């Protein structure tokens, strides 16, 4: 295992949006997995802006300082909780994030980390929800594509209504591995961009020591 | 002689400067400090001052006049009108019953009936100066007991008018009212006097309503600060003189003038101008009372004098207590009410002198009564102190609720000091969300109610360390300070000293208060009416046609800017800390704020929801479709789909820079 060159490490920003976090079981585990990691900033939007009064300048300067942005949230009516949409509306300004001169986010990586009640089979053509999660996230994918970022497949925890402790713990561990692998450069961003969902097979996207660790865990 | 004057001033001022801070520090209040200073410099201790104290006292009585003017300024006519029942009922009964009781005792002791009535009327009065000053200092003015005491004092001041008229009639020698000099109305028949008084009152009301404001505007426009102060003083003195001339107590006249001006735009300016004079003169008055206590006379007949003193206090106390019962004061408020009025008043000095001259009382009797009155006045602050420290903790509303002792140590995480209109909103929110909250309050009716509802409530002066300790400050996490400005400060100091771990959230009374709290290092400062005022502003904007969300966002932006400017200005003020008159500073602060708001008015916010730049970029990209016209103003072009202009305009050749 070679030590990662610090200067090449990517900085990861987790934008977390949950209007009733205190009642959440799954997201409590997922957030616990990604908080406190070195090189990872955890930003709880509903804690910072309970009145939806998003501080645009602060958010923009924080974005500029990171290379990877994780939008972590429960899947509400096939979309984000309202504060995250508010955040998108206000922070991704024309002339800053998009438009002719808007290049502040160019080259950054963005993906959603989602928990949803339905199972994997519900999210496919012919299933209960008729579309895959990736298809349903098209507006966000296009938003961030227009902002010149590279949008990756979502990290999904399916079937949260019936999930067991062991599965939940595994998902939390996997999310942490993904974030750490991205940070340390042990991650195949090209494959992650084309996957249906990122954690369908982590062996596909993790590389080097991260992949080895995953293999050992299995 | 000027040398004499300066020496006198030196003595009085030194005495005040030395004794009052000591008294304050010892927790006994400034009034007692002044009285002790007076005794100390008086003829019987150091003897710096002597015979002239009576003159000084007459002069200093003007402090009482000013105090009533200031009290009037804080009372709107409607509030006085609402108090008419306690003023006339409670006050009238107090004067009547006390006069009869003391007169009866006088008759029993062998006085003539004239002397009995004169003494009864004289001793029925209490000391407005001492009582109101002490109540204000202790923050008790707005309690039920404090308000009742004020009502009674007001009626006593009114009653002085007929009493002054009755005295000459009682006098065997038929001497005229010499104490107030000759008045315009001395030779008029009874109805003429009444007309003159009514005329004077009408004159004050009319002048206060229609003349004073333009006059002050004129004076203020000269920009000469001292002329404004002079005008304020002139106003008070002119009113006092006019009332004296028609035979009414000057204190009552200026009180009336104050009430009339309570709604004037210059109210605060008047207040801040008169306040220092009032303070100094009242101090002087208390010193003079202290100095006038004739210890030689006391030494010659200590039994009689102390006996009379005790009897006077006891009789007044019992009558007040019974009346308080009748008027349904709670036990502890009733004790406060009775204790605080159980003394002779400053009008007794005038009335006793008059009784002496009119031949109603012998000189020796009036001198003795004078000492008794002065002693009871000196004792008044001490009795109030005893009431506060020794009696109140044991009666009626106790400091601590009646709970099993085990429960006392289990501390609540939040303590709220002051459950008035401000504190109770925060408190109710916490309670509604299941947060255990301990309340400190000194309004006994409220305390009883809260206890009935099962809250843990401590009654008493929240600024005392012992009360905080009892309330479990050691184990609490938050302390909410929602008391009066002064009390907040003093509690803050106590908390910093004894419970530095407590996070404090402080109610600021206004912007100035907020500045000072921030300067004092308080992080969580909440301005009293700021948020409800902004809330009102939102509704006003909506009524003017703003959309709900637009008004709401505008208010959010405003609050954010204002909070930032609050902190910035607090720092700036710290740099240029010069003494500027309070009212003027307030105006200056307002000017800075308004200028800031006007400057920033056009600053665009929420650019993410504003498609102006997008539209510009779009048009520059496809000029043919829009005929190459200049971009219309966004609101004209707005088709209600502001954000709908999809950001699909990929890479136009030229675009506008966003100016944020």
3-state SS track over chain A? CCCCCHHHCCCEEEEECCCCHHHCCHHHHHHHHHCCCCCEEEEEHHHHCCCCCCCHHHHHHHHHCCCEEEEEEECECCECCHHHHHHHHHHCCECCCECCCCCCCCCCEEEEEEECCCCHHHCCCCCCCCCCHHHHCHHHHHHHHHCCCEECCCEEECCHHHCCHHHHHHHHHHHHHHHHHHHHCCECHHHHHHCCCHHHCHHHHECHHHHHHHHHHC
> Is B608–A56 a contact, with Cβ atoms under 8 angstroms apart?
yes
Of B174-188, B290-304, B352-366, which range is least confident? B174-188
Residue in B closest to A144 by C-alpha: B647
> Is A95–B658 a contact, with Cβ atoms under 8 angstroms apart?
yes
What are the strands of the beta sheet with B414-417, ordered from one edge?
A: B456-459, B437-441, B414-417, B478-481, B503-508, B524-527
To which H or E segment does residue B415 belong? strand B414-417
Instruction: Label residue B129 exposed, middle or buried (CB < 10 Å: 0-12, 13-18, 19+).
Output: buried
Task: Return the pLDDT at A2.
Answer: 47
Residue in B closest to A85 by C-alpha: B608
CA distance B648 to chain A (A): 8
Of B288-297, B340-349, B430-439, B600-609, which range is least confident? B600-609
Task: Return the pLDDT at B398.
Answer: 56
CA distance B592 to chain A (A): 25
Task: Return the pLDDT at B510.
Answer: 84
Residue B126 makes CB contacts below 8 A (sequence gap 6+) with: B152, B153, B156, B316, B341, B342, B343, B344, B345
Residue from the list A51, A90, A146 with its beta carbon closest to the beta carbon of B647:
A146
Using one digit for the tens of pLDDT, what is the confidence trace for A59-81? Answer: 999 999 999 999 999 999 999 99
Answer yes or no: are the C-beta atoms of B611 and B645 closer than 8 Å.
yes
List CB contacts (< 8 A) between A146 and chain B.
647-648
> Is B655–A101 a contact, with Cβ atoms under 8 angstroms apart?
yes
Residue in A closest to B654 by C-alpha: A100
Write the CA distances from A37 to A14, A114, A172, A178, A186, integer angstroms: 11, 20, 13, 12, 16
Residue in B closest to A103 by C-alpha: B651
Of B590, B564, B102, B483, nearest in space to B314 by CA:
B102
List CB contacts (< 8 A) between A96 and chain B.
658, 660
Greater model confidence, B438 or B185: B438
Q: How many CA atoms lie within 13 A of B183 on its CB side?
A: 26
User: How many CB atoms within 10 Å of residue B336?
Assistant: 30
Task: Return the pLDDT at A166.
Answer: 94
Residue in B closest to A139 by C-alpha: B646
Using one digit for the tens of pLDDT, what is the confidence trace for B135-190? Answer: 887 778 778 888 889 889 888 877 877 787 777 777 655 444 444 445 666 666 66
> Is A51–B556 a contact, with Cβ atoms under 8 angstroms apart?
yes
> Is A95–B613 a contact, with Cβ atoms under 8 angstroms apart?
yes
- Which percentage of chain B shows pLDDT scores above 90? 13
Tell whether B6 lies on the interface with A, counting CB pairs under 8 A: no
Residue from the list A56, A89, A101 with its beta carbon closest to the beta carbon of B657:
A101
Greater model confidence, B166 or B400: B166
DSSP bridge pairs for B456: B438
List CB contacts (< 8 A) between B608 and chain A.
56, 89-94
**Residue ranges in B484-547 assigned as alpha helix (H):** 485-498, 511-519, 530-543
Long-range contacts of B10-13 (CB under 8 A, 24+ apart): B11/B41, B11/B48, B11/B49, B12/B41, B12/B49, B12/B56, B12/B284, B12/B287
Answer yes or no: are the C-beta atoms of A43 and A16 closer than 8 Å.
yes
Residue from the list A53, A89, A100 with its beta carbon closest to the beta carbon of B652:
A100
Task: Return the pLDDT at B629.
Answer: 39
Using one digit for the tens of pLDDT, what is the confidence trace for B235-292? Answer: 888 888 888 888 777 777 888 888 888 777 777 778 778 888 888 888 888 888 788 7
Task: Return the pLDDT at B101.
Answer: 93
Mean pLDDT of chain B: 78
Assigned token pair, B443: 């309004």
B99 confidence band (pLDDT: 50, 70, 90): very high
CA atoms of B622 and B620, how far apart (whole Å): 6
The single-letter DSSP state of residue B505 is: E
- Show which residues on chain A lie within 8 Å of chain B, measured between beta carbons: 51, 53, 56, 89-96, 98-101, 146
> Is B609–A101 a contact, with Cβ atoms under 8 angstroms apart?
no
**Interface probe, candidates B647, B650, B657, B659, chain A, greatest A C-beta count within 10 A:** B647
Using one digit for the tens of pLDDT, what is the confidence trace for B546-597? Answer: 888 888 888 888 888 888 888 887 877 755 554 455 556 666 767 777 777 6
List CB contacts (< 8 A) between B655 and chain A.
95, 99-101
Say yes or no: ipTM exceeds 0.85.
no
Task: Return the pLDDT at B252.
Answer: 78
> Is B617–A94 a contact, with Cβ atoms under 8 angstroms apart?
yes
> Is B656–A95 a contact, with Cβ atoms under 8 angstroms apart?
yes
> Is A95–B657 a contact, with Cβ atoms under 8 angstroms apart?
yes
B478 confidence band (pLDDT: 50, 70, 90): very high
> Is A53–B660 a contact, with Cβ atoms under 8 angstroms apart?
no
Convert B305-325 to b/e letters by CB count within 10 Å (16 or more is b).
Answer: beebbeebbebbbebbbebbe
Write the CA distances from B77 to B84, B89, B205, B263, integer angstroms: 11, 19, 11, 9
Write the CA distances from B287 to A42, B23, B284, integer angstroms: 67, 14, 5
> Is B654–A98 a contact, with Cβ atoms under 8 angstroms apart?
no
* Distance between first and last Cα of chain A: 19
Q: How many CA atoms lie within 13 A of B597 on its CB side?
A: 15
Mutual orientation of helices B485-498 and B511-519 as an angle, nearest 10°?
A: 20
List CB contacts (< 8 A) between A100 and chain B.
617, 651-652, 654-655
Tell whether B548 lies on the interface with A, counting CB pairs under 8 A: no
Assigned token pair, A185: 């450069």
Greater model confidence, B652 or A203: A203
**Interface probe, candidates A99, A103, A138, A145, chain B, greatest B C-beta count within 10 A:** A99
* Mean pLDDT (whole number) for B396-403: 52
Task: Return the pLDDT at A73.
Answer: 97
Q: Greatest CA span in chain A, whole angstroms?
A: 48
CA distance B596 to chain A (A): 21
Our measurement of the distance from residue B579's CA atom to the centroid of its chain's CA atoms, rounded to an integer in Å, reads 22
> Is B614–A51 a contact, with Cβ atoms under 8 angstroms apart?
no
Tell whether B649 lies on the interface with A, counting CB pairs under 8 A: yes
Look at residue B479 and give its three-state secondary structure.
Answer: strand
Residue in A closest to B642 by C-alpha: A89
CA atoms of B590 and A68, how far apart (whole Å): 47
* Mean pLDDT (whole number) for B37-46: 82
Of B31, B18, B16, B26, nearest in space to B379 by CA:
B31
* Mean pLDDT (whole number) for B419-423: 88
Look at residue B437 and give its three-state secondary structure.
Answer: strand
Tell whether B535 lies on the interface with A, counting CB pairs under 8 A: no
pLDDT in tens, chain A (218 residues): 444 455 579 999 999 999 999 889 999 999 999 999 999 999 999 999 999 999 999 999 999 999 999 999 999 999 999 999 999 999 999 999 999 899 999 999 999 999 999 999 999 999 999 999 999 999 999 999 999 999 999 999 999 988 999 999 999 999 999 999 999 999 999 999 999 999 999 998 999 888 888 888 77
Answer yes or no: are the C-beta atoms of A194 and A185 closer than 8 Å.
no
- Residue B396: is its pLDDT beyond 70? no
Of A150-154, B178-182, B385-389, B496-500, which range is least confident? B178-182
């Amino acid at each position: 295992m070679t030590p990662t060159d610090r200067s090449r490490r990517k900085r990861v920003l987790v934008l977390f949006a949950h209007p009733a976090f205190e009642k959440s079981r799954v997201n409590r585990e997922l957030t616990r997995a990604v908080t406190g990691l070195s090189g990872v900033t955890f930003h709880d939007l509903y804690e910072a802006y309970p009145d939806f009064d998003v501080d645009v300048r602060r958010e923009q300067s924080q974005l500029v300082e990171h290379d990877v942005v994780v939008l972590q949230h429960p899947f509400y009516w096939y979309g984000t909780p309202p504060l995250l949409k508010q955040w998108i509306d206000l922070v991704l300004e024309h002339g800053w994030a998009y438009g002719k001169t808007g290049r502040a986010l160019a080259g950054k990586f963005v993906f959603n980390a989602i928990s949803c009640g339905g199972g994997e089979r519900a999210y496919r053509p012919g299933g209960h929800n008729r579309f895959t999660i990736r298809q349903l996230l098209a507006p966000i994918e296009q938003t961030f594509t227009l902002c010149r970022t590279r949008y990756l497949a979502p990290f999904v925890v399916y079937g949260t209504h019936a999930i067991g402790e062991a599965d939940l713990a595994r998902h939390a561990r996997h999310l942490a591995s993904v974030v750490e692998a991205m940070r340390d450069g042990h991650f195949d961003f090209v494959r992650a961009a084309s996957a249906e969902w990122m954690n369908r097979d982590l062996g596909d996207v993790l590389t080097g020591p991260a992949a080895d660790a995953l293999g050992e865990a299995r | 002689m000027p040398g004499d004057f300066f020496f006198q001033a030196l003595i009085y001022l030194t005495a005040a400067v030395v004794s009052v801070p000591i008294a304050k520090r010892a927790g006994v209040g400034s009034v007692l400090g002044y009285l002790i200073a007076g005794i100390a410099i008086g003829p019987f201790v150091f003897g710096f001052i002597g015979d002239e104290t009576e003159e000084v006292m007459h002069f200093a009585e003007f402090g009482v006049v000013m105090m009533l003017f200031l009290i009037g300024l804080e009372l709107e006519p409607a509030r006085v009108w609402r108090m008419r029942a306690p003023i006339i009922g409670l006050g009238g009964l107090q004067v009547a019953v006390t006069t009869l009781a003391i007169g009866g005792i006088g008759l029993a002791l062998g006085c003539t009936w004239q002397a009995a009535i004169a003494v009864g009327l004289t001793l029925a009065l209490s000391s407005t100066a001492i009582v109101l000053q002490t109540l204000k200092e202790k923050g008790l003015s707005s309690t039920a007991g404090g308000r009742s005491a004020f009502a009674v004092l007001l009626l006593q001041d009114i009653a002085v008018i007929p009493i002054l008229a009755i005295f000459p009639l009682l006098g065997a020698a038929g001497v005229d009212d010499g104490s107030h000099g000759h008045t315009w109305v001395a030779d008029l028949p009874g109805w003429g006097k009444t007309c003159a008084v009514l005329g004077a009152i009408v004159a004050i009301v009319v002048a206060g309503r229609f003349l004073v404001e333009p006059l002050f505007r004129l004076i203020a426009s000269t920009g000469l600060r001292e002329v404004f102060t002079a005008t304020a003083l002139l106003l008070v003195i002119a009113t006092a003189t006019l009332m004296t001339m028609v035979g009414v107590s000057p204190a009552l006249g200026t009180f009336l003038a104050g009430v009339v001006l309570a709604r004037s735009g210059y109210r605060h300016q008047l207040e801040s101008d008169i306040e220092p004079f009032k303070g100094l003169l009242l101090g002087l008055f208390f010193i003079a009372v202290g100095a006038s206590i004739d210890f030689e006379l006391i030494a010659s007949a200590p039994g009689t004098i102390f006996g009379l003193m005790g009897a006077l206090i006891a009789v007044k106390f019992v009558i007040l207590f019974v009346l308080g019962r009748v008027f349904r004061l709670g036990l502890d408020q009733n004790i406060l009410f009775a204790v605080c009025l159980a003394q002779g008043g400053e009008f007794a000095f005038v009335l006793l002198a008059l009784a002496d001259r009119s031949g109603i009382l012998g000189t020796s009797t009036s001198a003795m009564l004078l000492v008794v009155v002065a002693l009871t006045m000196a004792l008044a602050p001490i009795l109030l102190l005893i009431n506060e420290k020794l009696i109140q903790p044991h009666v009626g509303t106790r400091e601590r609720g009646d709970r099993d002792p085990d429960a006392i140590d289990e501390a609540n995480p939040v303590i709220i000091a002051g459950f008035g209109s401000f504190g109770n909103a925060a408190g109710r929110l916490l309670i509604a969300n299941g947060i255990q909250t301990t309340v400190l309050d000194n309004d006994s009716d409220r305390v009883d109610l809260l206890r009935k509802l099962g809250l843990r409530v401590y009654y008493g002066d929240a600024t005392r360390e012992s009360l905080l300790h009892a309330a479990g400050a050691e184990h609490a996490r938050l302390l909410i300070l929602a008391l009066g400005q002064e009390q907040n400060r003093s509690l803050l100091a106590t908390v910093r000293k004894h419970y530095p771990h407590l996070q404090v959230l402080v109610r600021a009374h206004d912007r100035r208060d907020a500045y000072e709290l921030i300067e004092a290092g308080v992080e969580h400062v909440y301005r009293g009416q700021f948020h409800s005022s902004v809330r009102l502003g939102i509704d006003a904007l909506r009524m003017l046609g703003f959309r709900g969300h637009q008004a709401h966002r505008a208010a959010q932006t405003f609050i954010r800017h204002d909070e930032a400017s609050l902190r910035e200005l607090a720092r700036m003020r710290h740099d240029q800390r010069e003494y500027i008159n309070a009212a003027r500073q307030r105006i200056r602060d307002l000017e800075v704020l308004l200028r800031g708001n006007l400057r920033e008015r056009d600053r665009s916010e929420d650019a993410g929801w504003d498609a102006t730049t997008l539209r510009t970029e779009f048009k520059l990209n496809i000029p043919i479709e829009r005929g190459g016209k200049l971009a219309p103003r966004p609101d004209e072009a707005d088709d209600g789909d502001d954000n709908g202009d999809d950001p699909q305009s990929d890479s136009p050749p030229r675009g506008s820079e966003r100016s944020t």
